[in-house]
């Protein structure tokens, strides 16, 4: 065997060793990333639990976010949407939708939604309650279209089915057009978000109108 062939043989063995080392390093990095992700998830989960209730027992990748969880009345809302085991609900007291709380909510959702499989597209509804001007009745529902992203095509079905339940549905890009949470979510899910996320605003009077809340709940069930 020539000296050149011997050198190539040694070089090939060294490359094989390097490939083995590289494979091990890649595996180590994956394990570190998985461990870090679990720590981040646990930290975010604890953060949210200190602000309200985090109920991730739903059997569908459907998340309802309530960020006005400040009074006993809002427990009625949470009870309606968790009466079955279909939805996941995060209810915290964060009406201003600050960046840190939004980030923690989204970190938990992104991690939790993976249990449904990578091909599953989650739906996230930011459900808000507001005092409406007198010329809107209590059955008005605003769907914010300033910020929204609808990969699954949920909105059209939602609009129609809410109207069928007797609600007046309006799109809005101003006061009820979608705020910091939806905007941040669209960005946090990546450059091509695989998620349906939007904001729905209903009258604050519905907090104590269980029949109307149940009607909205039934509509959500049909558009999953």
pLDDT tier at 7, thresholds 50, 70, 90:
low
pLDDT above 90: residue 73: no
Q: Where in the chain does DSSP place strands (E)?
A: 52-55, 62-66, 88-92, 123-130, 140-144, 149-150, 168-172, 196-203
- Report whether 127 contacts 97 (CB < 8 A): no
Claim: this prediction has a pTM higher than 0.75: yes
* pLDDT above 90 as % of the chain: 41
What pLDDT digit, counting tens, does each position of 13-41 carry?
Answer: 666 666 666 555 445 334 433 433 445 78
- Both structure tokens of 164: 């069928």
Domain assignments of the chain as residue spans, ordered by start: 1-50, 53-222
The CATH-assigned architecture of domain 53-222 is: 3-Layer(aba) Sandwich (3.40)
**Alpha helices in 50-116, H assignment, sequence order:** 73-81, 99-113
pLDDT of residue 4: 65
């Amino acid at each position: 065997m020539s000296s050149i062939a011997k050198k190539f043989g040694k070089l090939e063995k060294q490359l094989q060793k390097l490939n083995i080392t590289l494979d091990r390093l890649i595996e180590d990095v994956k394990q570190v990333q998985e461990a870090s992700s679990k720590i981040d998830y646990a930290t975010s989960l604890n953060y949210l639990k200190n602000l309200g209730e985090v109920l991730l027992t739903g059997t569908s990748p459907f998340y309802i976010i309530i960020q006005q969880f400040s009074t006993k009345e809002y427990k009625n809302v949470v009870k309606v949407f968790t009466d079955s085991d279909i939805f996941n609900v995060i209810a915290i007291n964060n009406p201003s939708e600050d960046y840190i709380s939004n980030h923690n909510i989204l970190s938990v959702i992104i991690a939790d939604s993976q249990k449904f499989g990578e091909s599953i597209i989650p739906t996230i509804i930011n459900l808000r309650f507001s005092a409406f001007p007198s010329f809107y009745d209590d059955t008005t529902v605003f769907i914010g279209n300033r910020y929204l992203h609808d990969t699954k095509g949920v909105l059209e079905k939602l609009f129609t089915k809410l109207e069928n339940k007797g609600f007046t549905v309006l799109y809005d890009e101003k006061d009820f057009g979608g705020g910091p949470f939806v905007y941040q979510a669209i960005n946090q899910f990546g450059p091509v978000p695989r998620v349906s996320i939007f904001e729905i605003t209903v009258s604050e009077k519905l907090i104590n109108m269980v029949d109307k809340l149940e009607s909205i709940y039934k509509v959500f069930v049909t558009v999953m």
